[in-house]
Structure 1
C-alpha cells in the first residue's frame, strides 16, 4: 500500500496575513510543527466556504513554501487566484480567521543528493511553489536558473522575488508586456544543447508541461513536473484526477494525480492521451 499521505494531518491553521500581490493573493498560515513534514511539491486540501457552505469538497492548493520563525513559529505560504468560488472564499479570509486544512498531501519534488544544474520553469501563479524549491536546491549547492512565463505581464507572480531566489531569471510573455516576447519554453532547447541543464522542475499549465516533456525527449535531462489536473477529494478516493502514465513495465495505467502526483516524471506521462477515455483491455 502506498505511503503517500500517511504523514498528512488534519489541523486548523490561523491566517497570519492575506496580501494582494498583483492579480493574486499571498496567504500566510500559522501551522506549527506541520512545516517539518512539508516539502516542495506537496499541496494542502482546504475546507472552503465556512460552516454553512454548500461547497462540500475541499479545494487543493499548492504549498508555495514553509518556514519557521521566532515570531510566528511554523508558517505555510499559499498563492491563490480568486477565480472559482472556493478560491474566492479563501482569498476573502481576514487575518486571525481559522482555516480547516489537511496537509501535506501528494508527492514532492525529488531533490538531488549532489549539486546539479537545475532549471525551474513556471507558468503564471503556478510558478509560486518553485520559489521554495529554489531555496532548497541552492542550500544543496545547486546552480538554479528560472524561466517564468504567462500570456501577459500581470499574470507573472512576484518577478522580483524570483530574482532573489535564483542565480538567473528570465521572463517571457506572449504579448510582450513584461520581459521578452514569446513562450517560456522557447529557450529550453538551446539551454539543453549547451549542456547547462541537468534537471528541469516545472509547474504550470498542462500544455506547458507537455511541451517541456517533448523538448527533453531523447536527452539526458530529467523533467519533474507538478501536474495541474483538477482534484476533488485530494486523497485518492474519487478518481477524478487520473492521468495516463507509463509504468516501468511499459504498460499505461490511469494514476491519481493526488496520490501518484502532483509531481511526476514528465517522460512517463502520456500527454497525447490526457483527457481521453482509456480503452478497456479484454
Structure 2
C-alpha cells in the first residue's frame, strides 16, 4: 500500500517526447516512496476554477537523490492541455505515490513487459528492479502508429529482446501487441507478463497468458475523480482470493491487478453474481 504525501512540486523539466510530454517534478519526500505501478495525482489550476479534479498519471521514474519524479502524458483534454502549457519553475500541487504497485518476483525471473502507447510508462522502473535482482526482461511495445509509441530506445537499452508493433505497419510488425505475444513468451521463457495500456489490450493479453498458463499482471487505465478511494468512480469487477466477485477501486486496490482475476468482459456493468449486486440494482 502506498503512503502518499501532498506537496507543492516545482517543475524542473517539461519537454516534448514524441507525441507526448515529459514532466519532471521536484518535491521532497515523494520519490523514495514510489514503487513501479504507483501513480501521482496533479492539480492543474485555472483562473476560472473549471479544473476542480486532479489528473492521475503513472510515475515513469523516481529519483530519491534528486527528490524528483517523472510523469509522461498526452494532451487529451482541458487538464492535460493546461498542464502542457506550464513552465519550468511553476509549482504544481501533487499527491503521490498513490495506488497499489506491481508485485515483483522473488529472486531472478524472466518477465515480459507488454504495453500500448504510453502505457509503457510504469514498466521501465519495474524492469530495472527485476534486472537488479538478477532477472531478465523482454518488451513488446505497440501503438496505432509510430508517433504514438513510447520508450522503444529505453527498452533497447535494457534488453535485446524488444519487439515493436504498429497497427498501421509504419514501424516494426504490422498488427497489435498480441500478435507476437505467445512466441515472445516462449522465446524468453517468461515466468510472468506485465501489461499496461488500454482495457481492450489488457483483456487480450490476459487471455493469451491464461492460455499459456503464464502469470499476468495488468495496470488499468480507469478514469479517476478523487484518486484516493472515496468517490467510487473507478470501480471494476474483480474476483477475490476467496472466489467472490466484487467491485473494487482501481485507485487504491489497483491500478495493478492480477489479470486472471479481472472480469474484463463485465467492465462497465454490475454482474448479477457480484457481491451486493441486488443492492446496487443488478438483475
Give the alignment's TM-score, normalised by structure 2: 0.93
Count of residue pairs the alignment pairs up = 275
Contact residue 65 and residue 78 of structure 1 kept, 8 A: yes
Which residue in 2 is equivalent to 1:228? 221
- Are the counterparts in 2 of residues 122 and 147 from structure 1 also a CA contact under 8 Å? yes
Partner of 2:10: 14
Q: Structure 1: 5+ residue runs without aligned partners?
A: none
- Give 1:78 shift: 0.5
**TM-superposition CA deviations, 1:182-203 (whole Å, max 9, x none):** 1111112223445711000111
Partner in structure 1 of residue 62 of structure 2: 66
Distance apart, 1:180 and its partner CA: 1.2
Unmatched tracts of structure 2, length 5 or more:
none
Q: How far 1:52 moved relative to its partner?
A: 4.5
Residue 35 of structure 1 pairs with residue 31 of structure 2: yes
| Mapped partners of 1:135, 1:50: distance in 2 | 37
Which residue of structure 1 lines up, in the alignment, with residue 128 of structure 2? 135
Shift of 1:141: 1.1
CA displacement, residues 112-160 of structure 1 (integer Å, 9 cap, x when unaligned):
1210010000100111111222111111111110010011111001321
Aligned partners of 1:119 and 1:92: how far apart in 2?
35
**1:76 aligns with one of 69, 78, 84:** 69
Structure 1 residues 208 and 14, CA, compared in 2 at 3 Å: closer, same or farther? same
Contact 1:44–1:105, Cα closer than 8 Å, also in 2 = yes
Q: Does 1:154 align with 2:150?
A: no
Matched, 1:202 2:195: yes
Give the Cα separation in 2 of the matches to 1:31 and 1:49: 18
> What pairs with 1:270-281 in structure 2 (closer than 5 Å)?
270-279=263-272, 280-281=277-278
Alignment deviations for residues 41-70 of structure 1 (CA, whole Å, 9 cap, x no partner): 00011111246422111111111111144x
Residue 256 (structure 2) aligns with: 263
Equivalent-residue separation in structure 1 for 2:6 and 2:137 (angstroms): 34
Alpha-carbon contact 2:7-2:28 (below 8 Å) kept: no
2:182–2:212 contact (8 Å) kept in structure 1:
no
> What is the match of residue 238 of structure 2?
245
The answer to whether the 8 Å contact 1:147/1:170 transfers is yes
Cα gap change, 1:195 to 1:166, in 2 (>3 Å)? closer
Q: Does structure 2 retain, via aligned residues, the 8 Å contact 1:143–1:167?
A: no
For residues 91-123 of structure 1, what are the alpha-carbon distances to aligned partners after superposition, in whole Å with 9 as ceiling and x for unaligned? 111100111010000000111121001000010
Runs of 4+ in 1 over 6 A off after TM superposition: none
- Two-structure CA RMSD over aligned residues (Å): 1.6
Question: Does residue 175 in structure 1 map to residue 168 in structure 2?
Answer: yes
Question: Which region of structure 1 is more displaced relative to structure 2, 36-45 or 25-34?
Answer: 25-34
